[in-house]
Amino acid sequence: MRLLLVEDSHELASALADGLERAGFVVDTCADGESALELAESRPYVGIILDRMLPAADGLDVCRALRAKGSSTPILVLTARDALEDRVEGLDAGADDYLVKPFAFAELLARTRAITRRQAARRSNVLRAGELTLDLTSGDVRWGEREIAISVKERAILTALLRHPGRVLTYGHLVEQGWNLDAEPSPEVVRAHVKNLRRKLAEHGAAGLIETVHGLGYRVAG
């Protein structure tokens, strides 16, 4: 699950991104409104965490611009302004939630999960391939009744494949789904994650679920 974090404080952005990635998200970061709009229009995000006070822009202007373009991506606004009228203004601008600084990371994570769950509830939140299921809300992967423990990167790869049954996904597509913009892995690293994922699936009866299309990429049979 990919998040966009828009925060001009490098120290805060780094700390939040680290925590969110440990919680299972892939996080892209930027520090200004123009970059935020470009990224939001170029990649599918499950949510946007948006600082209100940005260089040369008010985060609410970014929020309004995204809504005017038809974006329904959930937005959590971060701000130091705690007056009632400020919170109302943020929600009226199209934000889904509003969190006042300073805040505990646990609350940010809970609110982020809440807005992404609401978005997931508007569509099926369980991906399937035969007896394999992946719950997008909990992250649980099961083959029948048996739970399969996989890593964050393996889950991102499996999610991408299950979202496009029968379609061949290239190395570039898997990287886009599973790694942030600052950490592009080598093809060998991606192959290693796919190999480990296949091994874990095979151990639970799902051998052969992920097919290799030589010279192109991988797919789950549709």
- Per DSSP, the three-state class of 46 is coil
Between 166 and 180, where is the model more confident?
A: 166
Q: What percent of the chain has pLDDT over 90?
A: 41
Question: Are 139 and 24 in contact, with CB atoms under 8 Å apart?
Answer: yes
Question: Are 176 and 127 in contact, with CB atoms under 8 Å apart?
Answer: no
So what's the pLDDT on residue 194? 93
Residue 200 has pLDDT above 70, yes or no: yes
How far is residue 52's CA from residue 75's CA, in Å, rounded to a whole number?
11
- pLDDT band for position 10 (50/70/90)? very high
Across 140-169, average pLDDT: 89
Residue 121 has pLDDT above 80, yes or no: no
| Cis, peptide link before residue 74, omega less than 30° from 0 | no
- Mean pLDDT of all residues in the chain? 87
Across 50-74, average pLDDT: 88
Across 35-62, average pLDDT: 89
- Supply 208's token pair: 């052969």
Across 194-212, average pLDDT: 91
Residue 222 has pLDDT above 70, yes or no: no
- pLDDT band for position 55 (50/70/90)? confident
Across 81-91, average pLDDT: 83
Cα angle 181, 198, 217; round to 5: 55
So what's the pLDDT on residue 51? 93
- pLDDT band for position 120 (50/70/90)? low
Helix pair 171-178, 152-163: axis angle to 10 deg? 120
- Supply 200's token pair: 């874990």
- pLDDT band for position 122 (50/70/90)? low
**Could you tell me the domains of the chain?**
2-121 (3.40.50.2300), 127-220 (1.10.10.10)
Give the predicted TM-score (pTM) of the model.
Answer: 0.61
187-198 residue pLDDT tens:
889 899 999 999
Residue 180 has pLDDT above 90, yes or no: no
Across 25-42, average pLDDT: 90
Residue 124 has pLDDT above 60, yes or no: no
Across 81-92, average pLDDT: 83
How far is residue 71's CA from residue 153's CA, in Å, rounded to a whole number?
27
Residue 5 has pLDDT above 60, yes or no: yes
Q: What φ, ψ does residue 195 adopt, rounded to 5°?
A: -60, -45
